[in-house]
Amino acid sequence: MTNNRWDISLLYVEDEKILRSIYEKVLAPRVSQFYLAENGEEGFQLFLEHKPDLVITDIKMPIMNGLDLMRKIKKQFPEARVIIMSAYGESHYFMRAIENGVKGFLLKPVDNDKLLRTIDEQAREIQLEKSVLYEESMRKKAEAELRQNEIVLQSVSDVAEIFLQQKYNNNTIQLVLKKLGEATDSSRVYYFENYTENGVPFCRQVLEWVSENVEPQINNEALLAISHDEAFFSRWVAKLGNHEAIFGPIKDFPEAEREILEPQGIQSLLAVPVFIQSSWQGFIGFDDCFTERRWSPVVSNTLGVAANIMGAAAHRARIEEQLRNLNAELEQRVEKRTRQLQKEISERKQTEILLRSSEEKYRLIFENANDGIFLSSDGQIRFINPKAFEITGYLPKMVIGKPFTDFIHPDYREMVLDNHYRRLRGEAVEESYDIKIIDAQKKVKWVELKSNLIHWDDEPSVLTFMTDIDTRKRYEEDLKELNQHLEARVKHELKQIEQQQQLLIQKSKLESLGELSAGVAHEVNQPLGGLSMSLDNILFEMSNKELTNEYVSKKVTLMFDDIERIRKIINHIRAFSRDRENQPMEAVNIIQVVNNTLSLVNRLYIDHLIDLNVSLDMKHCYFVGNSFKLEQVLLNLLSNAKFAVEQQALLKGPDFVKRIQIKSWADKGKLHLEIADNGVGIAEENLTRIFDPFFSTKKAEEGTGLGLSISYGLMKEMNGSIAVESKVGAYTKLLITLPEYINTTT
């Protein structure tokens, strides 16, 4: 509520012009939107057009009266809220209004304060319902985003596995585009690569995947050679070249870009850059041709990881090609050198021995060429293989003869050096471990080391195998960060749901008190009557001049007893209606809880001619729990029992005797409390569902379907249970079971 104005819409229907003018001035400032009609037909048309949150209507009007208006509205919109306001107080108007689900009945002339209070009560309920619906929609949206993020994360993991297991080529990239397209539910996924022609940079589409019923763009001539200087592409070059993604609905893009993108049927897109080392190679694009999708930062970052993996795979393929060329060149040099040595007859035998030794060393070092390999003696590097160059970027001449610790990250030097000397001493050392190194570009990179002690040139040496795990480590860090964000969002959603549950429990309490207000009023009126009678007696004795101190003392004592009774009733209702969520568990007398509950419903049962029979076990009556929570459960069960016998009476006729029985007993350390009625019963197919939230056998205007669900939860909190037995047209029994508490200190 803002500035005494509720954010709801209200329709007021009144045929009398003066009253319309008066109540328009009273009601219009109270709500954000106000609609006025002079008869039922006009009111019905306004309702269909605007769907107001609340309708206030007179009964007797021309063309269509208020009851017919309410009935037509309720027929199409059962959840509509209608308040009847009339100068006629006949009971049949009340009954017809109640039968049609009226929210209130006000007799004219209506006190403005009472009318505004009624509006305030309805507005609070409307806003609470809207809040619950909004929170539910947000929860579902969060769950959908979580599921989509998990699918995209799994697809990125699959992409990493594909590039690790298969060669980097167009077939592999096409498979990756298909994987990402299906995971993101995109219309198209494509790869654009940069190239240079006559010194001018261009970009072109080379591969594309499309979903069903989507037109391919692989042969679109506008996408085969895009200059980096084109007006519609300059923004892309700047952002993608700076490691930034481009995403959003096409309608928000610059006009020059829309002229290229809109003819392709694109509603929304995401483009993530592909880099090899620090060089921008191109980008992967994702089109949505059906919805204006808002790409979340989580999805954008995750797909950016996929692009990074693709760039790393391209870099690895490039290095492998370079190493193959280096190996071929090395083989040519060895062959040439061998021919030269063969010409030197005087040194032929020595040359043959050296060549044989060199070949044996070469084979030993290069046996596991899939990993980087280096040999160290006295802490200095003697040999490295081409794979080590690929991983570190160091040429052999840059590292041979230097301490291997020069290339280890400072955080790991002490550990690696300690393992090296322990291995030389023959001590047991961990077989493999992960460390950080500093490559030739002074960048930090993760590797896995596996070392073996060997003898080389008759001296102890260490042969080390090095595996590049940098991509895997960074991917693990990205996943860890994403999981932390997901955990925080899930905790937030759970907290919101818990708060909503507490609001529903408190609402159920207040609804129960509202239903029992007549009985509470009777309980208060009895001692008030006693107070009034005592005062009348004292005044009578005074008028007859027969008043004595003894008589006054006796009457005052009776009056204080009545006042104490009123105080207890009020304190009990205040305590019951208060939020007791954090109240500690304690020993509770179940008999006292039943009696407190009956004090609230007894008058209601008497007024409705319900035969209530109570049989309680006075010896076994204590349990550990919360008296107010059990009282709320009992109020709900007794309210349901009353409704059931009232419905049965409508079916059976005036001779039907409405009966409700409450009895308790103890058995094997358990307290049992049963509430039985001879009402309409519950269908067998509904017995397993009555404790589900929002399930109800009543009409929408007769119940929310939350009472038994809340009762079930409250019993679980007190380590108890609640069970049901019923037969249609005969009876229903609800059995509450709680662990018995026996005080061993007395």
The more confident residue out of 137 and 203 is 203
Q: Which amino acid is at 593?
A: V
Report residue 738's pLDDT band, with 50, 70 and 90 as the boundaries.
Answer: very high
pLDDT tens digit string along 163-202? 888 888 889 899 989 989 888 889 999 999 999 999 999 9
Query: Which helix (H) or strand (E) segment is 409 a member of?
Result: none
pLDDT, average across residues 480-498:
71
Residues 6+ apart with CB under 8 A from 666: 617, 619, 620, 672, 740
Residues 6+ apart with CB under 8 A from 454: 460, 461, 462, 463
Whole-number pLDDT of residue 720 = 93
Domain with CATH 3.40.50.2300 in the chain: 6-134
Provide the b/e sequence for 231-244 (b: ≥16 CB within 10 Å).
ebbeebbeebeeee
Per the CB < 8 A criterion, the answer to whether 250 and 268 are in contact is yes
Question: pLDDT band at residue 367, thresholds of 50, 70 and 90?
Answer: low
Q: What is the pLDDT of residues 49-100, one digit of tens each?
A: 999 999 998 888 888 888 888 889 889 998 888 998 876 655 556 666 666 6
pLDDT at 666: 92
Confidence band, pLDDT 50/70/90 cuts, at residue 574: low
Q: HEC states along 624-639?
A: EECHHHHHHHHHHHHH
- The mean pLDDT of 14-21, rounded to a whole number, is 87
Residue-wise pLDDT for 118-132, tens only, equals: 888 888 888 888 888
More confident residue, 58 or 492: 58
**Share above pLDDT 70 across residues of the chain, in percent, rounded to a whole number:** 82
- The better pLDDT of the pair 521, 276 is held by 276
Query: How far apart, in whole angstroms, are the C-alpha atoms of residue 433 and residue 451?
Result: 10
Q: Domain spanning 344-468 has what CATH number? A: 3.30.450.20
Q: pLDDT digit string (tens) for 610-648?
A: 999 999 988 888 999 988 888 888 988 998 899 999 999
Query: What pLDDT, on a 0 to 100 scale, did the predictor assign at position 549?
Result: 79
Structural contact between residues 203 and 188, judged by C-beta atoms closer than 8 angstroms: no
Average pLDDT for 532-542: 73
Tens digit of each residue's pLDDT (9 = 90 or more) over 507-534 = 555 455 555 554 555 556 666 766 777 6
Banded pLDDT at 577 (limits 50, 70, 90): low
Among 165-179, 442-456, 647-661, the range with the most confident prediction by mean pLDDT is 647-661
Mean pLDDT for 579-591 is 76
Least confident piece of the model among 42-46, 468-472, 501-505: 501-505
Rounded mean pLDDT, 412-439: 86
pLDDT of residue 137: 74
Cα 50 to Cα 31: distance, rounded to the nearest angstrom: 14
Topology classification of domain 579-739: Heat Shock Protein 90 (3.30.565)
Regarding beta strands 81-86 and 104-107, do their DSSP bridges make them parallel or antiparallel, or are they unpaired? parallel
Q: Is the pLDDT of residue 27 over 70?
A: yes
Q: What is the mean pLDDT of the chain?
A: 82
User: In this structure, are residues 261 and 246 in contact, taking their beta carbons and an 8 Å threshold?
Assistant: no
Give the mean model confidence (pLDDT) for residues 421-425.
83
Q: Kindly state which CATH superfamily the domain 6-134 is placed in.
A: Response regulator (3.40.50.2300)
Residue 364's pLDDT band, with cuts at 50, 70 and 90, is: low
Say whether pLDDT at 495 is over 70: no
Q: What is the pLDDT of residue 88?
A: 62
> What does the pLDDT read at residue 680?
93
Examine the pLDDT at 342 and tell me if it is beyond 70: no
pLDDT at 377: 83
| Minimum mean pLDDT range among 275-284, 411-420, 667-676 | 411-420
Stretch 225-254: mean pLDDT: 93
Residues of the chain with CATH 3.30.450.20: 344-468
- Domain 166-318, CATH among 3.30.450.40, 3.30.70.100, 3.40.50.720, 3.40.50.10190: 3.30.450.40
3-state secondary structure 430-470: CCEEEEEEECCCCCEEEEEEEEEEEEECCEEEEEEEEEECH
Strands 6-13 and 54-57: parallel
Alpha-carbon span 667 to 739, nearest angstrom: 10
Q: Which of residues 77 and 570 earns the better pLDDT score?
A: 77
**Cα separation of 549 and 269, whole Å?**
95
550 token code pair: 């003894």
264-268 average pLDDT score:
94
**pLDDT over 80 (residue 242):** yes
Query: How confident is the model at residue 430, as a pLDDT?
Result: 84
